[in-house]
Amino acid sequence: MTIDSSITLRQAFLLYGDLPVQYLPSEGEDKPPKLTDGTMPVTSEAAKEATQGLKFPSNFLWGAATAAYQIEGGLHHCNWSMWEEQGTRLDGHATVEHHEKAGKACNSWELFDKDLDALKKLGATMYRFSVEWSRIEPKEGEFDEAVLKQYGDWCQELKEAGIEPMVTLHHFTEPAWFVEKGGWEKRENLLFFQMYVQQTTQTLAPHVKYWSTINELNGYAICGWLAGVHPPGKKDDVLTMLTVFRHLLVAHTMASKAIRANSALQKEDPIVCMALSHVYFLPFDTTQIPKPEEPLPLLFWILNRILSTIVSLFFNYVFNLVILDAIFRGGRFPNFPFPFHFVASLAGWGKDLEALKDTCDWMGVNHYYRSYVQFGMARQGNDAPQQASPTDMFVVLPFGIELRAAAIPNFEKNEMGWDLTPSSMVRLLEILSDRYPSIPIIITESGTADTTDRKRIRYLASLLKQMHSLLEQKRIDLRGYLIWTLMDNFEWAEGFRPKFGLLETNFETFERKERKGSCDMLRAVFGASKEE
């Protein structure tokens, strides 16, 4: 008996026109070839060859992204330094692997020149970095002019080198005094954020055209209040997580307004983006859970497949589209049968959602991994996972059933345990272009952690080639690509272990050294694309 439930469901869902049916796996996608993504060149040499002659539009924005806490060093009065001091999480695990502390990180606060040189050497035309609230306003209401000036100078130096700065106003960190007042959990605290963005955007507006407001507010709320793996480390606190999420949405609206108001006298209008975290959820892989022959197991398998498909659509909708719908299609979008906006309006969020409309000019896409949804019996004993992680999220439901969203085993991974799949970014670009056809996209973060650079170069080559082909076919309006990240840095809860950098950092001497394979390949593509 052959039943392809995803096709049947696609047909059923198409009736509802507005569902994210594009997220249903396309043919063969739920049966990934074992071990590798078929689109990746097998060797670094093949990767370099694959990108030879690729030429992107001459105004395409190329570069790298970083975040203040991960590179600047010397930040000791914010939520993350408090988290490091705390040492252990509620579940007993270290707050940061091996109890590492960001400390001096890459010392970029003092060594920005080195970062600038590296960007110039690469031929970058954009650099996305975040400014640190706890440095700008170390005490409530006391703004450090010298710090703001230094950030302004960085922007100026970047521009003089032909590199557009993109400034992020909040990338996972806030001052300790803000945390002590209850942080994002209290609505009245939004006023503090408003004062911070007002000061910062006023000072930087003459130097900055491209802005990203709040980095990955969806991931930030989930990691801090649901998974408990980032500060403040609360676990399964769904209601507070939703409150924080809502306040971050309002904070984004405030930031967008402040940017626009403070840029009013500039020659060019600002471009406001929100860099949102995108995970590509798929129903379970049929090579991992093959279809059984026996009638009863087959029935369960079909049920599992149907439910997993519905849940993966739901996750894609809630995680990837809810906010974008509010921004680009208007606050109270019905979206039956996942009426998030409707339910949220009943809960009193209506005005906050409506206010999001048109707060962004471009879509900022951060994407790293995909995740497969499945139902199964709860894992126990030695099989029981010790903790949730982005590659193994699970909830135990009644009757000993577990709902999981996880990476598939036996597939090529990076140092974070994430599948190496450039094709999931490509799918995402198609989906977003399809749903919001008139909105330009910029990839605000994409990359992979690999000390050897061999996987990174294959990954990037495949992605560049596929993006180039989508652009040539005029299927996407992609304006730029920013690699995560410029140099090895402090990777939050994973400490210094994962190596995402195009440059290797020596954390004793703060020397940066290019990873030649990826850097040479990018230099060639960036260079060729700049030629008229």
Give the footprint of ligand BGC on this chain (CB under 6 A).
Answer: 67, 215-216, 219, 277, 366, 445, 484, 491
Nearer to ligand BGC, 215 or 309 (CB): 215
How near is the Cβ of 290 to ligand BGC at its closest, in Å?
33
Contact at 8 Å (CB) between 486 and 121?
no
Nearer to ligand BGC, 315 or 338 (CB): 315
How near is the Cβ of 447 to ligand BGC at its closest, in Å?
8
How near is the Cβ of 215 to ligand BGC at its closest, in Å?
5
In terms of DSSP bridges, do strands 478-484 and 275-283 run parallel, antiparallel, or are they unpaired? Answer: unpaired
Nearer to ligand BGC, 201 or 366 (CB): 366
What per-residue string of b and e applies to 462-498 under the rule 16 or more CB within 10 Å gives b? Answer: bbbbbbbeebeeeebbbbbbbbbbbbbbbbbbbbbeb
Residue 394: strand, helix, or coil: strand
Question: How many residues appear in the chain?
Answer: 532
Nearer to ligand BGC, 203 or 518 (CB): 518
Nearer to ligand BGC, 71 or 353 (CB): 71
How near is the Cβ of 489 to ligand BGC at its closest, in Å?
7
How near is the Cβ of 172 to ligand BGC at its closest, in Å?
6
**DSSP string computed for 106-119:** T-TTT-HHHHHHHH
Nearest position to ligand BGC, beta carbon: 67
How near is the Cβ of 135 to ligand BGC at its closest, in Å?
17
Q: Which of 531, 450, 454, 526 is nearest to 127 (CA)?
A: 526
**DSSP string computed for 37-99:** -TTS-SSHHHHHHHHTT----TT-EEEEE--HHHHS----SBHHHHHHHH-B-TTSSBSSGGG
Nearer to ligand BGC, 284 or 369 (CB): 369
Nearer to ligand BGC, 21 or 241 (CB): 241
How near is the Cβ of 162 to ligand BGC at its closest, in Å?
26
Residue 389: strand, helix, or coil: strand
How near is the Cβ of 72 to ligand BGC at its closest, in Å?
13
What per-residue string of b and e applies to 327-344 under the rule 16 or more CB within 10 Å gives b? Answer: bbbebbbebeebebbeeb
Residue type for position 200: T
Nearer to ligand BGC, 75 or 353 (CB): 75
Cis peptide before 203 (omega within 30 of 0): no
How near is the Cβ of 5 to ligand BGC at its closest, in Å?
32
**CA 57 to CA 189: how far, in whole Å?**
44
> Dihedrals φ, ψ of 67, to 5°?
-135, 145
Nearer to ligand BGC, 50 or 102 (CB): 102
Residue 506: strand, helix, or coil: coil
Rounded to a whole number of angstroms, the CA Rg of the chain reads 23
Give the CA count within 13 Å in the CB-facing half-sphere of 229: 18
Helix (H) or strand (E) holding 510: none
